[in-house]
Amino acid sequence: MPPYLPPDAHRPLTLRDVSDASGVSEMTVSRVLRNRADVSPATREKVLAAAKALGYVPNKIAGALASQRVNLVGVVIPSLANMVFPEVLSGISDGLEASGLQPVFGATDYKPEREENVIYEMLSWRPSGMIVAGLEHTDPARAMLSNSGIPIVEIMDIDGEPIDSMVGISHRRAGREMAQTILAAGYRRIGFLGTKMPDDHRARKRLQGVTEALAEAGTALAATEHYAGGSSMGKGREMTAAILERVPDLDFLYYSNDMIGAGGLLFCLDQGLDVPGQIGLAGFNGLELLDGLRMRLATTDACRREIGQRAAQIVAGISDDGVIGAKRIELSPRVEIGDTIRG
Amino acid sequence: MPPYLPPDAHRPLTLRDVSDASGVSEMTVSRVLRNRADVSPATREKVLAAAKALGYVPNKIAGALASQRVNLVGVVIPSLANMVFPEVLSGISDGLEASGLQPVFGATDYKPEREENVIYEMLSWRPSGMIVAGLEHTDPARAMLSNSGIPIVEIMDIDGEPIDSMVGISHRRAGREMAQTILAAGYRRIGFLGTKMPDDHRARKRLQGVTEALAEAGTALAATEHYAGGSSMGKGREMTAAILERVPDLDFLYYSNDMIGAGGLLFCLDQGLDVPGQIGLAGFNGLELLDGLRMRLATTDACRREIGQRAAQIVAGISDDGVIGAKRIELSPRVEIGDTIRG
DNA sequence: CTGAAAGCGCTAACAA
DNA sequence: TTGTTAGCGCTTTCAG
């Protein structure tokens, strides 16, 4: 008969409570609840019944401290508002599925100091691995990650040196390839429109790629338009109006993402411009969300979901190539011509 | 005498290491690192220098176990892909800002059993509070939350009984009010288009509100169109084509969200339909992302960011009304006529 | 198959 | 202002 317990409104239950209720030692209760095989069916039944009846929820904090194992993977991304990252996250969830690891997300708002802080906070929970967007971090952030002794995967971008592993695409190459596609289609007066430049390193690298490819072809961007703040179709409209006002003879607009590109496309169509004859357009990301537009915007697919999956697999120690250790995986984005570049 | 420890490449550092390196007791090191006031400046300096030099990252697992306090708030939402939730999350981050609490997110994919599991996992980390989307949960999930002894805030919806607190809008009322607006504008043959019905309780309640309001006016929906899967403009196009094919004389289309509504709007415009004369359109959510469309889609603003902020404040124990304890906060969504309902 | 003892790394409470 | 002691709730290890 269990000892009398004062009705304590909200003390969380412990293994001890389940032990008392089932008449089995704490240790054996622990074994049952961790699904270990070396427990007799009868005992198992008794324990599970007691645990369920009490509504016991294990304390993972204590478990983690005792076992020195934490089934969490920290995931650090710039922003959830960006449309791009939710898909990466869902790829990560997928890739982690079978591993028993749980992702924990943190956002940095594209601010290096915030990133440093988020990384610090996450590492202090001793996760089993970390997935971090981008290759650019503060020195302390790099040091913390590097010293943590856990798998670190930097994602999205591969133009740089990783701390440990990296999975992503070359944004420079994406920029180059789009520029080459644009030139091959015969466009000559090219404008670039982007948001949040200073700390959006990937957009910066795409711009760099474009610039290089144009230089190699003996030309250069005819105009650029930058804007701070989030991306929306409305923003794309405004920027497009502004750049065409400043430089009316542009025949191509390359946007740093599909959302503002879609706004630009709608603007051009509303203005009665001939797309893609008179003016061509391209974005970046391959957002499916937008395929209801009258024309399919040319874009580069950023392989977001696959990046998440592969990164998760690395953290989980699942390698499809059989190689263990730091990995560098470059995915190859496809340029999609859509309907806004003339064939 | 401590046992011999081989130079272990990646043993995480402990307070003990900082204590040794600085010649100060573990306890005092702990005080310094927690920014407690009762430490002499000289000691503080020494400790901070040692901690930084070593690259010490505290172990929150041990800290949480010892102090019985965890600065985490669990946030459970259906999906990150839904555009709606990122904004709620950012509201939560805002509202938690000054409290020292950190949000931890989990997604359920609109599946009750997954929700139950996510809640269980989160509670096992003993968070300081939980914010959960919706009022519909499995019985075990309700029981776990209810027994957890921490603040529970259910958000987005207030049509039902909360476990503890709730912050949201009445989706039934939103449906009613939109229906009334539609009728007042003179539309009579109304179609409803929605995705993911069975477990999207909020969309279901809006539909219920519409149905009720129409019944009170002596009429009913002329058609409904349901579709499983994610929302995109392309999906909105397809559904609109389908419903107009089936029931060509509809004069109003009410969509369960702005994304499919935007697709429907583009479809109608492409078809050369007179919007809002011949056919009116409305969505739901108030997505800013979309304001670059040629016409502003009529919608109901769901107060997503404010819901997140208020929920976070409740969990953090910050009440702007001075009342402590379970709260019920109903926000009042505004119907926005836009350009797709005739004035 | 089950139990007892020791301790994970930190902090509350108290003592000096 | 600083140090000492005793756990937090669980799991590891080892003994029965």
How many other C-beta atoms can be found within 10 angstroms of the C-beta atom of residue A4?
6
Across the range B96-114, mean pLDDT stands at 94
> What pLDDT, on a 0 to 100 scale, did the predictor assign at position B223?
97
Q: What tokens does A218 get? A: 């003996």
pLDDT band at residue B7 using 50, 70 and 90 as cut-offs: very low
Q: What tokens does B106 get? A: 């989990």
Residues B236-280: pLDDT tens digits?
999 999 999 999 999 999 999 999 999 999 999 999 999 999 999
Across the range A51-77, mean pLDDT stands at 97
Q: Which residue of B67, B89, B124, B125 is the best one to mutate when testing the A interface, meaning the one whose CB has the most A CBs within 10 A?
A: B125
Point out the residue nearest to C8 (C-alpha to C1').
A66
- In the predicted model, is pLDDT for residue B43 greater than 70? yes
A-chain residues near B232 (CB < 8 A): 288-292
Q: How far apart are the C-alpha atoms of A162 and B103, rounded to whole Å?
A: 28
How many other C-beta atoms can be found within 10 angstroms of the C-beta atom of residue B43?
17
A-chain residues near B291 (CB < 8 A): 232-234
Across the range A204-210, mean pLDDT stands at 96
> What pLDDT, on a 0 to 100 scale, did the predictor assign at position B197?
67
Question: Is B208 within 8 Å of B174 (Cβ atoms)?
Answer: no
First and final CA of chain B: distance in angstroms?
85
A26 contact to strand D (CB, 7 A limit) = yes
Q: How far apart are the C-alpha atoms of A168 and A153, rounded to whole Å?
A: 10
> What pLDDT, on a 0 to 100 scale, did the predictor assign at position A197?
67
Q: Which nucleotides of D are covered by protein (CB under 7 A)?
A: 1-13
Between B5 and B31, whose confidence is greater?
Answer: B31
The reply to whether B69-170+304-334 and B171-302 are identical in fold is yes
DSSP line for B257-276: SHHHHHHHHHHHHHTT--TT
**Inter-CA distances, A206 with A179, A264, A304, A343, Å:** 10, 19, 16, 23
Between B11 and A54, whose confidence is greater?
Answer: A54
Going from N- to C-terminal start, the domains of chain B cover 15-58, 69-170+304-334, 171-302
Q: How far is B297 from chain A (nearest CA, A)?
A: 13
Residue A288 touches chain B, beta carbons under 8 Å: yes
> What pLDDT, on a 0 to 100 scale, did the predictor assign at position B6?
44
Point out the nucleotide closest to B60 (alpha carbon to C1′).
Answer: C10
Among residues A57, A87, A136, which one has the least CA distance to residue B79?
A87
The alpha carbon of A306 is separated from its chain's Cα centroid by a whole number of angstroms, namely 10
A171 contact to strand C (CB, 7 A limit) = no
> What pLDDT, on a 0 to 100 scale, did the predictor assign at position B267?
96
Give me chain B's average pLDDT, please.
93
Of the partner residues A107, A147, A270, the one whose CB lies closest to the CB of residue B294 = A270
Q: Which residue of A8, A14, A61 is the best one to mutate when testing the B interface, meaning the one whose CB has the most B CBs within 10 A?
A: A61
- A258-271 burial code (b ≥16 CB/10 A, e <16): bbbbbbbbbbbbee
Point out the nucleotide closest to B37 (alpha carbon to C1′).
Answer: D1
Question: Is B331 within 8 Å of B305 (Cβ atoms)?
Answer: no
Across the range A236-254, mean pLDDT stands at 97
Looking at domain A69-170+304-334, its CATH architecture is: 3-Layer(aba) Sandwich (3.40)
Using a 10 angstrom Cβ sphere, with 0-12 exposed, 13-18 middle and 19 or more buried, the burial of residue A60 is buried
Interface of A with B in 250-279 (CB under 8 A): 259, 262-263, 266-267, 270
DSSP line for B26-80: HHHHHHHHTT-S-S-HHHHHHHHHHHHHHT----HHHHHHHHT---EEEEEES-S
Query: Which three-class secondary structure state does DSSP give residue A205?
Result: helix
Residues A111-161: pLDDT tens digits?
999 999 999 999 999 999 999 999 999 999 999 999 999 999 999 999 999
> What pLDDT, on a 0 to 100 scale, did the predictor assign at position A82?
84
* Through-space separation of residue B68 CA and nucleotide D11 C1' in angstroms: 19
CB contact under 8 A, B233 and A293: yes
> Of chain B residues 47-76, which have a beta carbon within 7 Å of strand C?
58-59, 62-63, 65-67, 69
Q: How far apart are the C-alpha atoms of A26 and A33, rounded to whole Å?
A: 10
> What pLDDT, on a 0 to 100 scale, did the predictor assign at position B93?
95
Q: Which residue of A48, A60, A255 is the best one to mutate when testing the B interface, meaning the one whose CB has the most B CBs within 10 A?
A: A60
DSSP line for B194-223: EESTTT-HHHHHHHHHHHHHHHHTT---SE
Residue B307 touches chain A, beta carbons under 8 Å: no
Residue A105 touches chain B, beta carbons under 8 Å: yes
- Choosing among 1.20.1260.10, 3.40.50.300, 1.10.260.40, 3.20.20.70, the CATH entry for B15-58 is 1.10.260.40
- In the predicted model, is pLDDT for residue A8 greater than 60? no
Contacts of residue A67, Cβ cutoff 8 Å, sequence gap at least 6: none
Point out the residue nearest to D3 (C-alpha to C1').
B25
Query: Which three-class secondary structure state does DSSP give residue B148?
Result: coil
- B276-286 burial code (b ≥16 CB/10 A, e <16): beebbbbbbbb
Among residues B245, B217, B242, which one has the least CA distance to residue B227?
B242
pLDDT band at residue A6 using 50, 70 and 90 as cut-offs: very low
User: Whole-prediction pTM value?
Assistant: 0.93
Among residues B2, B46, B3, which one has the least CA distance to residue B23?
B46
Residue A236 touches chain B, beta carbons under 8 Å: yes
- Choosing among 3.30.230.10, 3.40.50.1220, 3.40.50.150, 3.40.50.2300, the CATH entry for B171-302 is 3.40.50.2300
pLDDT band at residue A322 using 50, 70 and 90 as cut-offs: low
* Through-space separation of residue A315 CA and nucleotide D15 C1' in angstroms: 38
> What pLDDT, on a 0 to 100 scale, did the predictor assign at position A185?
98
> What pLDDT, on a 0 to 100 scale, did the predictor assign at position B2?
36
- In degrees and rounded to multiples of 5, residue B314 shows phi and psi of -65, -45
CB contact under 8 A, B288 and A232: yes
Residues A259-314: pLDDT tens digits?
999 999 999 999 999 999 999 999 999 998 888 898 999 999 999 999 999 999 99
Among residues A156, A202, A150, A174, which one has the least CA distance to residue A335?
A174
- In degrees and rounded to multiples of 5, residue A177 shows phi and psi of -65, -35
CB contact under 8 A, B266 and A148: no
Interface of A with B in 147-166 (CB under 8 A): 147-149
